[in-house]
Every structure is written in C-alpha cells, then in structure tokens.
C-alpha cells in the first residue's frame, strides 16, 4: 500500500497558522498470478418498510433490492431482512442460486410498509445473518435501503453511527441507499462513512441497475478491507477536522480513550497512544490500484526555522486475498523558513487539486446547511467564494479541474433555486465523492 502525506507547500513561514494536510492511500495492483474475478460476497439486503416509506419510496426500495439481487451469482450468499418497529428475516443467509434468488424476488415483491423505523434493528439482524454466511472468506457487506428517518430503537444519529462503526470494525462494511427525495441524507451518508462502505442517492428506479453494477463492479478487484487511517500530530500541531469524513480522537474531552470504545486498539501493528494527538478516520474498501484521499485541516505553531514534523500517518487494513493484517506508514515533514518567496516557490502541483476538491466538498456541505436553515444568500456566498478561490489557484490546477469545480458551485446554486429537494441530496452525494 502506498501512503503519502503532504501540505500544499513544502515550506511554511514561522508563525501560528492553518494548513491542509493531504493524505493519499494507493492500493497495490494484484499479483500477476492472482485469480481473475471478484471475491465472493456475503450480502445482507436490509430494507426499510416503515410507514414513512409509503408510496414511491417503498417501491423504489424493493426495486433497489431486486436490482442488486440480479447481479449476485452462485459464488455469493445473501439474506433479505426488513424492518419497521422491529426487524424480520425474510430469507436467511443462503447461496445465491437461481432457485434461491427466485424465492427472494417473490418475497421482496410482497413487502409492504407499516410501523415505525428501527434502523438499528435492521442493522443488528443484517449483521447476524452475514455472520452465518456459508461463504468462506471474501467480502461481507450490509446494503441498507432506507429513508434514514429512525424513530425507534437507536434513533440518535451518533448512536446509530457508533453501531455502524462497531459492525465495520468486525469486518462487516455498510453501504447505504437513500431512496426518493425525503430521506435523511445526513444519517444515510454518515452510516456509510463510518461503516466503510459507499453512499448512494436514488431519486427513481432508472439509475438502479447502473448503480449496483458499479457497487458490485467495485468489488471485482477489492484488495483491502477494514481500512483505517490513524494520524498523529507532531509537536505544535493539532488536527482539527477531516474534510468530508467522520473523525474520532484518541482522547475525548474527559480524557478517556475514544478508540478503545470503538474497539480499535491499533492500526495493525501501529499501537495508538492516548496522548490526545491521534485521530482515526474510517476508509472504505480499496480496489487494486485505487487511490483514496483524506484531507485534514491542521493548526500549526511553527515557532522556529528548520524541519517540522506535521504528522505521522499509519494505515492498517486486511488483505482480502488471505485475510492477513497489513500496515503502512509515512511522515509529513515541512521546512519552516522566513522567506515568503521560498514558500510560494514550494507549491506541490500534485497536492493542490486534492486539497481544492476537499475544500469544494466542504463548501457544498456548508451551503446545503445554510440553505436548509433558510439562508439562500449565505449558501450562494459560500459557493461563490469557493469558485473564486479555485480560479485564484488556476495555475496549479489545470483548465479541466477549474471548470469541473466551478461547475459544482454553479450546479448547486441553480439546484437550490430551482429544485431544492433534489439539490440537497445531490450536493450531499457530490460532496461525498469530491472528498475522496
């Protein structure tokens, strides 16, 4: 696994300042003699059938389940779980034979909506079914299809996220599908992020087949699962946030070790300290040759000239081919100088686009929140400022990147003005994609 960590410039001035630290994780290509095809999949399809799913939402949810079912084959195993006020195993974990898939299709067609929304019930039952899979090895995933409007069981967003993180820490990743225009995008996205899966928005059934082809296609060369990134700040440095990612600190406000509550003791060979300087970011499964990006906002107190360690970065994962635990690490270092011209001359053109995309993701989230609070003017200002910042760095970004990021701002502003319900969902998905 290739890991790098860099600021936008290789030099910084001696002062207190904010910087952006870009971490890239690149999965290795498969060995020449590696078997072709994707690894087998143990999948629990978890469908929300609560009363809030009445109408097109439940029909879209069933269509989503049927679409993914069609793309499983005999190497895979699956279960179908529904939930409302409680959960029900419609079909227990079994091989994805033609006969079993036909029975599942018939059962899915009969699902109707009723009752409350206990997402935690569905996740618990889905994880139980995945644990019963007859498939040895491979990937284990829950596909949650829901409007995200939990009102029974664990309905606090933080508690649901903790549940999803716990399942992911035990090797069961969670992808989420928000259906229709009324789903809670904040909950559904967060569950996918901490669950180390993927997040999707489906307005109608037209895009379902392509979406699930992509979801299963992404599994075809998956080489790393249960990926976790641990960043430990250097002296005089504090890690403030990870743009577009959930981030947990090693120590909470009361001094307790947060990562131990999450069941995280180490980044596979790199023990985590409880000094307060370490943060943990969950990362989705990686395909062969795929690069994932995480950008941190950091505050730096650079008091003296010379070399300064910004952060040590440790990445741990399970190798899918044999389940082995693997680890890699790197250190981000900059030179502290007193010459502004030297700083300007040290811009890293490969890092700048990574940071600008992450900042655009953050601007989208801020604009969506402002719009949701009735502040359309503030939302527009946030996106306009971002577009101007992109243009200011055009020399380092290239015309295509500048145009694509300006289009993100334009499309969001137009969407908020003309199709706000869809625009909120689309902005959430676009921010999710840009941050990665």
* DSSP characters over 145-187: EE-----SSS-SHHHHHHHHHHHHHTT-EEEEEEESSSS-HHH
What does the alpha-carbon distance between residue 350 and residue 12 come to, in Å, rounded to a whole number? 17
- The whole-number pLDDT of residue 270 equals 38
**Nearest residue to 7 (alpha-carbon basis) of 398, 366, 302:** 302
- Residue from 48, 233, 253 nearest 151 by CA: 48
Strands 325-337 and 11-13 come out as parallel
Phi, psi of 124 (to 5 degrees): -60, -45
Instruction: Please state the length of the chain.
Output: 436
Name, in order, each residue with C-beta under 8 angstroms of 123's C-beta and a sequence gap of 6 or more. Answer: 46, 142, 144, 160, 163, 164, 167, 174
- Distance CA(116)–CA(83), nearest Å, equals 9
Residues of the chain with pLDDT under 50: 259-275
CA 366 to chain centre: 18
Angle between helices 185-194 and 157-169 (to 10 degrees): 30
Exposure class string for 75-102: b at 16+ Cβ within 10 A, else e: ebbbbbbbbbeebeebbebbbbeeebbe
Q: Which two tokens stand for residue 274?
A: 């409880």
Tokens read off for 182:
């009324």
Residue with tokens 């190497």: 75
Report the alpha-carbon distance of residue 326 to residue 95 in Å, rounded.
30
Please report where in the chains the tokens 């259906």 appear, as a residue.
179
pLDDT at 339: 95
**Residue 46's beta-bridge partner residues?**
81, 144
CA distance 274 to 413: 43
28 burial type by CB count under 10 A (0-12 exposed, 13-18 middle, 19+ buried): middle
Strand partners of residue 176 = 144, 199
H helix runs in 174-251, sequence order: 185-194, 208-217
Q: Is 65 exposed, middle or buried (0-12, 13-18, 19+ CB in 10 A)?
A: buried
Q: What angle do CA 220, 222, 226 make, to 5 degrees?
A: 145
- What are the counts of helices (DSSP H) followed by strands (DSSP E) for the chain? 13, 17
At 152-200, the pLDDT tens digits run: 999 898 999 999 989 988 889 999 988 777 788 889 999 999 998 888 8
Cα 171 to chain centroid distance, Å, stands at 15
Please state, in angstroms and rounded to a whole number, the distance separating the CA atoms of residues 432 and 436.
7
Q: pTM of the prediction?
A: 0.82
């Amino acid at each position: 696994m290739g890991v790098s960590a860099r600021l936008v410039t290789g030099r910084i001035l001696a002062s207190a300042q904010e910087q952006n630290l870009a971490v890239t994780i690149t999965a290795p290509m498969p060995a020449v003699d590696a078997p072709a095809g994707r690894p087998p999949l143990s999948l629990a399809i978890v469908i929300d059938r609560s009363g809030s799913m009445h109408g097109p939402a439940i029909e879209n949810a069933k269509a989503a389940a049927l679409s993914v079912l069609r793309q499983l084959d005999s190497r895979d195993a699956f279960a179908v779980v529904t939930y409302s006020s409680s959960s029900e195993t419609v079909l227990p974990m079994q091989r994805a034979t033609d006969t079993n898939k036909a029975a599942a299709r018939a059962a899915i067609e009969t699902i109707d909506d009723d009752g409350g929304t206990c997402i935690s019930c569905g996740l618990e039952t889905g994880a139980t079914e995945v644990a019963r899979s007859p498939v040895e090895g491979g990937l284990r995933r829950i596909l949650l299809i829901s409007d995200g409007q939990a009102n029974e069981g664990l309905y606090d967003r933080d508690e649901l996220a903790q549940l999803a993180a716990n399942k992911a820490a035990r090797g069961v990743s969670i992808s989420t599908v928000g259906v229709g225009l009324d789903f809670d995008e904040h909950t559904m996205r967060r569950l996918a992020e901490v669950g180390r899966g993927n997040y999707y928005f489906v307005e109608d059934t037209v895009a379902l087949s392509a979406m699930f082809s992509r979801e299963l296609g992404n599994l075809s060369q998956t080489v790393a699962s249960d990926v976790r990134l641990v960043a430990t700040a250097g002296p005089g440095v504090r890690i403030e946030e990870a743009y577009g990612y959930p981030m947990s600190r090693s120590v909470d406000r009361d001094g307790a070790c947060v990562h131990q509550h999450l069941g995280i003791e180490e980044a596979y060979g790199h023990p985590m300290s409880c000094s307060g300087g370490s943060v943990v970011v969950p990362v989705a499964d990686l395909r062969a040759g795929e690069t994932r990006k995480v950008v941190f906002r950091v505050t730096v107190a650079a008091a003296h000239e010379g070399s300064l360690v910004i952060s040590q970065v440790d990445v741990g994962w399970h190798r899918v081919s044999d389940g082995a635990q693997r680890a890699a690490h790197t250190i981000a270092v900059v030179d502290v100088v007193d010459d502004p011209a030297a700083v300007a001359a040290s811009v890293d053109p490969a890092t700048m686009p990574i940071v600008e995309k992450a900042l655009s993701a953050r601007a989208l989230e801020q604009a969506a929140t402002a719009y949701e609070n009735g502040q359309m003017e503030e939302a527009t200002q946030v996106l306009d400022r971002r577009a101007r910042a992109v243009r200011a760095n055009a020399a380092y970004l290239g015309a295509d990147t500048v145009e694509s990021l300006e289009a993100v701002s334009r499309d969001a502003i137009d969407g908020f003005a003309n199709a706000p319900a869809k625009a909120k969902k689309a902005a959430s998905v676009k921010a999710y994609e840009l941050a990665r």
